[in-house]
Structure 1
Amino acid sequence: MSVTALVMAGGKGSRMSLSEEKPLLKIGGKPVIEHVLAALKNAKKINSIVVAVSDYTPKTAKLMLQFPVSVIKTPGKEYVSDMRYAVKSLNLHSVLAIGADLPLITGEIVDNIVDCYERCGKPALSVVVPMETKEKLGLGGEYAFKVGNTRVVPAGINVIDGQRIDEEKLDEEICLLDQKEVAVNINTVQELRIAESLF
């Protein structure tokens, strides 16, 4: 299976209240998006990388010129509609969409997620993390829901058959990963500090 990674880097980052674009916030001395790109480069199951930017992230777009990635400019409306815009514009097939704010993600974890997608046989997969894991790390979690008896939150990583992106409801596999590497994403200054301490 040929999988394209789509790095979502066009959001406003409005919860951060910082002047810097969120993908450029530094963790371990490097912009957070560079950690995501390194993981995707190390993943054996990722064939190509596309970075989705917007008018909200012009510096990120400029930085991406230094990397062997494609860049697409999206409207910058919100995550799902920008992802749909990129997938349709580029006519992508199997797509791993990932937020640009997951500094601890690794190539091995990305490969495990793609493996899970290949095995499940469904057109969509969503990675979730136990709420308890996020809370133990001192992290918050929006959009919590239950899988069995476990409260979980989305990790900001999805795999989807891009040719079916317009279908209203896709049969979706839930991939539960109890790992700090997928639990840590940066939406607040507090989460930035926690990520730095874990790096």
Structure 2
Amino acid sequence: MIIILAGGKSTRMGKEKPVLKIAGREMLLWVYEQASKVGETLIALSKNTPKTKELCLREGIHFIETPGNGYVHDVQWLLRELGTFVSVASDIPFVRASDLALMMKELERRKLSLTGVLPLSRVPKGLKPAVYRGYAIVGLNAVAEEGEEFFELTNPLLALNVNTPEELELANRIAKLLRSKFL
């Protein structure tokens, strides 16, 4: 199962991120479209994201409501309630179905928690992702009871986590470039 995490407080953005639009479409729908190509997908909401809940109801997207007590607490709650899963943040609009499928495959194979990372050499210039032990941490993970290992991914756009108005504008510019390239 893939769970899209969409229940955060969005303190840096100042408004609910999952419903912000990129190229005229809610950011959550960018992620959901890719995730639903891979398998069963559920949106994790909280009391912090009432507009996201409205979007899910309007679009007929299945969701679960978490306690909304923070990322770690909610992920642990989801693990207890649902068992192992792949998590992806709703603010990584350029995640691809192939990224998600690869993480699902590794979760099934290894049966342990995996933190999705990018080598810093793959991070596009100008992006400032969270860095730990020489890797960019991306919001795509496998969540299990056991272990914790890094899992290297290759999609450079995973480094764009939309947390600020400037990153939202960058995502809009990238979306326009991608559209023109593939249309």
Which of 9, 12, 25 aligns to 2:9? It is 12
Question: What's the counterpart of residue 37 of structure 1?
Answer: 32
1:12 and 1:34 map into 2 onto residues whose CA distance is: 19
1:124 aligns with 2:100: no
**Deviation at residue 37 of structure 1 after TM alignment:** 0.4
Deviations along 1:21-47, whole A, 9 cap, x unmatched?
11011112101000110001112xx2x
2:36 and 2:147 map into 1 onto residues whose CA distance is: 29
Deviations along 1:33-88, whole A, 9 cap, x unmatched?
00110001112xx2x22211112110101110134532222222211111212232
Give the AA of the match of 2:67.
Answer: P
Question: What's the counterpart of residue 167 of structure 1?
Answer: none
Runs of at least 5 residues in structure 2 that lack an aligned partner in the other structure = 176-183
Which of 90, 104, 107 aligns to 1:100? It is 90
Secondary structure at the residue paired with 2:82?
A: coil
Question: What's the counterpart of residue 173 of structure 1?
Answer: 149
1:117 and 1:93 map into 2 onto residues whose CA distance is: 12
Structure 1 or 2: more helix by fraction:
2
Runs of 4+ that moved beyond 4 A: none
2:62 and 2:166 map into 1 onto residues whose CA distance is: 31
Secondary structure at the residue paired with 2:9?
A: coil
1:140 aligns with 2:128: yes
1:186 aligns with 2:162: yes
Structure 1 or 2: more strand by fraction:
1
Secondary structure at the residue paired with 1:154?
A: strand
Q: CA RMSD in A?
A: 1.8
* TM-score normalised to structure 1 length: 0.80
Question: What's the counterpart of residue 137 of structure 2?
Answer: 154
2:129 and 2:139 map into 1 onto residues whose CA distance is: 11
Question: What's the counterpart of residue 72 of structure 1?
Answer: 64
Which of 53, 59, 71 aligns to 2:45? It is 53
**Deviation at residue 132 of structure 1 after TM alignment:** 4.3
1:68 and 1:87 map into 2 onto residues whose CA distance is: 24
1:183 and 1:131 map into 2 onto residues whose CA distance is: 9
2:121 and 2:162 map into 1 onto residues whose CA distance is: 17
5 Å matches for 1:19-30? Answer: 20-30=15-25
Q: Does the Cα contact within 8 Å between 1:23 and 1:31 map onto a contact in 2?
A: yes
Q: Does the Cα contact within 8 Å between 1:122 and 1:173 map onto a contact in 2?
A: no
* TM-score normalised to structure 2 length: 0.86
Give the AA of the match of 1:145.
Answer: Y
